[in-house]
Each structure stands twice: as C-alpha cells, then as structure tokens.
Amino acid sequence: MKSEKISELTTNRLSVYLRCLNDLVTEGAKTVSSDGLAKRFHLNSAQIRKDLAYFGEFGVRGVGYYIENLRDQLTKILGLEKEHRVAIIGAGRLGTALADYYGFTQTNFSVAGLFDADSKKIGQTIGGVEIFDIKNFADIAKRDKIDVAVIAVPAPFAQNVLEQVAEAGIKAVMNFAPTPLRVENDVKLKTVDLTISLESLSYFLAQPNGSNSKNLKSNSNRRRIKQVEKV
C-alpha cells in the first residue's frame, strides 16, 4: 500500500458485508466470526479481517463480531445513515429503467429526477419520477438537494454531461456510458461496466465441467497462496 486510499474494491466489499450482516440480523443471529461470515456467504475471511482493519478493531477475540454493532459501524463508514438524492441524466431506455429500479427503493438512495434535452420527454413522469430539462439541472439540483448524478446518456454526450453536473457542484457521479471520462480531482466518478459481470460468467463457462476450481496451478503454488491469505 503506497497510497493510504481505500480502494473502491474495498468499499464495494463493505457494501457486500453490510448486506450479509443485514441478512444475519433478520435471522436473529447476535455474533459471527470472520470465518463464519466467509463460509456462509462465500467470502474470504482473511479479506474480511483486512478490510475491516482499515477502519478499526471491530472483532472481539473468541467472540467474533457483534452483528448489529458491526452493521451500524459499516452503515456509518459508508455514509448510509443519511439519505442521498439521485439525479439520472438521460431519460432513454437505461435512464428510465434505472429510475424504476426496484433495488434503489430498498436503500437510502431516492431518485429525485430524470433529466433530458428532448423537449418531447420533458414534463413526463416515469415510475413517479419527473423528467426535467437538463438546462435547469443546476437550479433543480440545488432546490432538491441532489448529491449524486447517474449518467445514462449515449457515450458521445457523457463527457459534456459530466462537466455540467460537476459545475453544478455534484461530487459523486455514477457513469453507465461505456466510455472513459475525464474528471476534476474533487469529483468521484464511478463507471459501471456491465461487461465485467459477463466476463466473470465467461470464466465460469471456460472451466471444464463448469467448475470454478480447475484452473489452479500446482499444490506448491496453492500452499503459497494460503500463506499470503493467512497473514
């Protein structure tokens, strides 16, 4: 670790841990060990310990983690105790699909508005969400306390949209346009590449008998990995 930055892979994993802990709370469990958590949800226990160690000492020797406490801590670390208001830019197929995405309704993210440049779309409502004129983005963002923007426009328009939302003071942007974007340092840009998930499936299909475990090297190499993981 040359840098002290927490990587997105780490925060993504914290999100996953949080989901797992929520499941365990629902089931009425009180404590769980990193091994127990790993086994139950197909995670890596060394990775769990390492990820959590960035943020503090949550585990209790011989007990493991107090589930509700750890859930609350992760919620706070991820900034999820506060509501976030999301603007979706682009009221095409993907944008309207996202406005309607049931997953968001179960979180503390709420879609505040769709934005588009097409006058035929402006004023319409999709899944309870109004489509506004992108020209008025800055004003509406301020009025509706929007703090996250989702870019769902065709790739050639994405950079322009990004600059517009950044100018309006938005610091967190999720980009679905499959194109690299340039961004100011104080804006966090996350590009969602749906092909990565497909490639993961491709890996699975490439294994003989559809198994996940066939591409490994010799035993000696496996042993070395084990040591790395156990530190």
Restricting to residues 82-141, which ones interact with a copy of itself according to CB under 8 A?
Answer: 82, 84, 86, 92-94, 96-98, 100-104, 106-107, 109
Torsion (CA) 7, 87, 176, 82 in degrees, nearest 10: 30
* Amino acid in position 182: R
Shortest Cβ distance from residue 68 to a copy of itself (Å)? 19
Shortest Cβ distance from residue 58 to a copy of itself (Å)? 11
Q: Is 198 in the site for a copy of itself (CB under 8 A)?
A: yes
Is 8 or 136 the residue whose CB approaches a copy of itself more closely? 8
Core vs surface per residue 30-40: b (16+ CB within 10 A) or e: ebbbbeebbee
Q: Is 154 in the site for a copy of itself (CB under 8 A)?
A: yes
Shortest Cβ distance from residue 186 to a copy of itself (Å)? 5
* Joined tokens for residue 30: 């009180």
Q: Is 226 in the site for a copy of itself (CB under 8 A)?
A: yes
Shortest Cβ distance from residue 212 to a copy of itself (Å)? 5
Shortest Cβ distance from residue 133 to a copy of itself (Å)? 21
| Angstrom distances, CA of residue 227 to CA of 41, 50, 51, 169 | 22, 14, 18, 46
CA distance from start to end of the chain: 15
Is 84 or 130 the residue whose CB approaches a copy of itself more closely? 84
Sheet holding 109-116, edge to edge: 125-126, 129-133, 109-116, 84-89, 148-151, 172-175, 188-191
Q: Which of residues 42-81 bind a copy of itself (CB under 8 A)?
A: 42-44, 46-47, 50, 53-56, 76-80
- Geometric angle at alpha carbon 5, from 155 and 12, rounded to 5°: 60
Q: Is 27 in the site for a copy of itself (CB under 8 A)?
A: no
Is 31 or 171 the residue whose CB approaches a copy of itself more closely? 171
Shortest Cβ distance from residue 138 to a copy of itself (Å)? 18
Give the per-residue contact string, 155-174, with a copy of itself (x = CB under 8 A; - = no).
x---------------xxxx
What backbone phi and psi angles, to 5 degrees, belong to 126?
-120, 115
